[in-house]
Amino acid sequence: MKAVVANDHGAVDLAKRMLDHLKARGIDYEYLGTDSEESVDYPDYAAKAVMEYRRGGYDFGILMCGTGIGISISANKMEGIRCALPQTSFSARMARMHNNANFIAFGGRVEYPEPVEKMLDAYIDASFEGGRHQRRIEKMMALEGR
């Protein structure tokens, strides 16, 4: 399994935690984020991660900014991307099972009700169910560019 990971200045500490967690799980990653708290623009990091993901060889992407909102919206503007912004392990798991999310986003300044690593694990360990959900994914993706 391999992930592409990127963050802006609002999630430097969270990115370090996530990279440590991926390493502990034995998941390879390409890190494209900033390790500085000097202000940068999250759309640039979303774009870098998506462009790298599109090169192939990645199972999913992880994006982080202060809230996770701006970087997830930015990624979702790019063709073929379904970036989820879960608040719980349940929503992280469903993002994969029902929405086949290929990116997941988190906020470095958000106080979550459970550890972010637990939410990431729920996402990673889930599998897309297909079936009726595939039909919905196709309808969702057909909305691009409208």
| Residues identified as active-site | 65, 98
CA neighbor of 70 nearest in space, from 137, 7, 144, 121: 7
Cβ pair 57, 3 in contact under 8 A: no
CA distance linking residue 14 with residue 20, whole number of Å: 10
> Please, where are the H alpha helices in 12-41?
12-25
